[in-house]
Chains A and B, each alone.
Chain A
């Protein structure tokens, strides 16, 4: 029974990241053998504890191994660079297509271009690990965008969502307090 129990346990161990398994699989299997020796492997309670242990510990170790938060921040930074470039392109195209350029309209377009440039710069700063310049660029981008929106109230809903939502989301992420302890939650 304990040989087949060990086979099942080795399958469950695949839930852990490969580096962790390479380092600790042998020790974990040894410990599992001890548990089999001292406990009743045929009971539901035994296996419920084993499975619960894997459910509790494997996802956190996987998240640590892939550094999920850093990956998400990098993706958000790339998105802000793309949307910043898209914003500049959009503002310039609109300027070219407009038959005439009234004073407030011109200021709104200029503010839109500056907001997009700042968003693009913030994305680059995040990618380079410069958190404080990124924060400043995002706040400035948000202010420029609010100014452009006030001068140009018929702005599209998508543009408003991007112009407000992305800088605010990135600012929240950048001001989120880092975890002081590196010892997990278990």
Chain B
């Protein structure tokens, strides 16, 4: 079992998030999921541009568990696949706060780019 560290840092201390980590947190914002569901959700959300392999996914999940942003909710079989039991993960309150902070940070960047007319303008 991974040792979970007590959260001692404010959400802003975790920013900017590595891309894979941000995608995992976004996937878990929909509710608790197991590894393969997270992987498929990330691929679908990014239209195939981000593909997490097992090593990248579980490496990131290990760090997220240690940082207290994600927690395990136990093992059970996937109802759709009806195969072996899998571990499920969900966001903690800190995880939600960090995800929100990262979204706000990215939103500020996008708004700045829009003001500079770098996006949202049809090319001439």
Residues of A within 8 A of B (CB): 16, 20, 23-24, 27-28, 30-32, 34-35, 49-50, 52-54, 56-58, 60-61, 180-186
Using known A-B contacts A23-B62, A60-B59, determine if residue A181 contacts B54 with beta carbons closer than 8 Å: no
Q: Find out whether the CB atom of A186 lies under 8 angstroms from the CB atom of B87.
A: no
Most buried by B among A24, A52, A180: A24
Residues of B within 8 A of A (CB): 1-2, 9, 13-21, 35-36, 39, 51-64, 66-67, 69, 81, 83-84, 86-87
Other-chain contact of A183, B2, B18, B35 (Cβ < 8 Å):
B18
Using known A-B contacts A20-B62, A181-B17, A186-B60, determine if residue A53 contacts B53 with beta carbons closer than 8 Å: yes
Q: Find out whether the CB atom of A57 lies under 8 angstroms from the CB atom of B36.
A: no
Q: Find out whether the CB atom of A49 lies under 8 angstroms from the CB atom of B56.
A: no
What is the CA–CA distance of A180 and B67 in the complex, to the nearest angstrom? 12
In the complex, 10 of the A-B residue pairs with CB atoms within 8 angstroms, ordered by the A residue number, are A27-B87, A56-B53, A57-B53, A61-B59, A182-B63, A183-B60, A183-B64, A186-B19, A186-B20, A186-B56
Q: Find out whether the CB atom of B56 lies under 8 angstroms from the CB atom of A56.
A: yes
What is the CA–CA distance of A60 and B57 in the complex, to the nearest angstrom? 13
Q: Find out whether the CB atom of A50 lies under 8 angstroms from the CB atom of B62.
A: no
Q: Find out whether the CB atom of B18 lies under 8 angstroms from the CB atom of A185.
A: yes
Further contacts, 13 of them, CB under 8 A, given A182-B66, A184-B18: A20-B62, A23-B1, A27-B35, A27-B58, A27-B86, A28-B54, A31-B36, A31-B57, A57-B56, A181-B13, A181-B17, A183-B64, A183-B69
Chain A proximity of B63: nearest CB distance (Å): 5
Q: Find out whether the CB atom of B86 lies under 8 angstroms from the CB atom of A183.
A: no
Using known A-B contacts A31-B36, A184-B18, determine if residue A16 contacts B67 with beta carbons closer than 8 Å: no
The residues of A that contact B84 with a CB separation of less than 8 Å are 30
What is the CA–CA distance of A32 and B54 in the complex, to the nearest angstrom? 7
What is the CA–CA distance of A186 and B58 in the complex, to the nearest angstrom? 11
Nearest CB in chain B to that of A26: its residue? B84
The residues of A that contact B54 with a CB separation of less than 8 Å are 27-28, 31-32, 35, 53
Most buried by B among A30, A52, A54: A30
The residues of B that contact A28 with a CB separation of less than 8 Å are 35, 54-55, 58
Nearest CB in chain A to that of B1: its residue? A23
The residues of A that contact B20 with a CB separation of less than 8 Å are 186
